A and B are shown apart, each in its own frame.
Chain A
Amino acid sequence: AQSVAQPEDQVNVAEGNPLTVKCTYSVSGNPYLFWYVQYPNRGLQFLLKYITGDNLVKGSYGFEAEFNKSQTSFHLKKPSALVSDSALYFCAVRDHNTDKLIFGTGTRLQVFP
């Protein structure tokens, strides 16, 4: 069965510092991986995806993610955090047998001024 894991419930970072939100995956075959962000009382917003190609994927709002096949990881990164980046972040993998997304449990990012 395919799955993703987000080992950190919460990540705290000071504004202006780099941030990393971790995600590892377990799939058979090539993974299709996604990151979404959820602000309070709002739906999920797509940030970026890895399908194939370059291991470093660039997405919205200055976020990027690095696909690492040997470590089965897809960590989300940003060089300089903003207070407005504070939100709930979800990693997801697309099930190859259907089209559904399988989500991790989420990581709350808190950026302090």
Chain B
Amino acid sequence: GAGVSQTPSNKVTEKGKYVELRCDPISGHTALYWYRQSLGQGPEFLIYFQGTGAADDSGLPNDRFFAVRPEGSVSTLKIQRTERGDSAVYLCASSSGLAGGHEQFFGPGTRLTVL
């Protein structure tokens, strides 16, 4: 079946603009995660959804970042008043949602560049 998909694959924006990044998880996966990967670093956790609710948003760097998952499937990561430091690859992952040993399946990422 289809894997995790993310759109757009690349996004270039200007400092101060608003952006939305979309994630389509694997069908039937109840858990959805957002990570951010800066150049030369490992992915860093942003937020985790179990169904429609954010179970853990402790990784969001500040209140300019927000994510939703209104129907428990597709999720949108929203960044307001973008800054150059927000430039990174934003990765989405999904899993079957049971806590513990289930692996997360990652999408190809959205490369965000803030000029």
Contact = CB atoms under 8 A, between A and B. Distances in A.
Given A43-B4, A104-B42, A105-B41, A99 B31 contact: yes
A99 B103 contact: no
B14 interface: no
Contacts of A102: 45
A34 interface: yes
B48 A100 contact: yes
A98 B56 contact: yes
Interface residues of B, number: 29
Interface in A58-113: 90, 92, 94, 98-106
For chain A, the bracket of interface size reads: 20 to 34
A19 to B, nearest CB: 20
A100 B50 CA distance: 12
Nearest to A32: B101
Contacts of B107: 43
Contacts, number: 64
A98 B101 contact: no
A37 B98 CA distance: 23
A92 B91 CA distance: 15
B16 to A, nearest CB: 28
Contacts of A43: 4, 91, 106-109
Nearest to A104: B42
Interface string A31-62: 01010100001111110010110000000000
Given A34-B103, A42-B108, A43-B109, A90 B56 contact: no
B106 A36 contact: yes
Interface of B: 4, 31, 33, 35, 40-45, 48, 50, 55-56, 58-59, 91, 93, 95, 99-101, 103-109
Interface of A: 32, 34, 36, 41-46, 49, 51-52, 90, 92, 94, 98-106
5 contacts: A43-B106, A43-B108, A44-B91, A102-B45, A106-B40
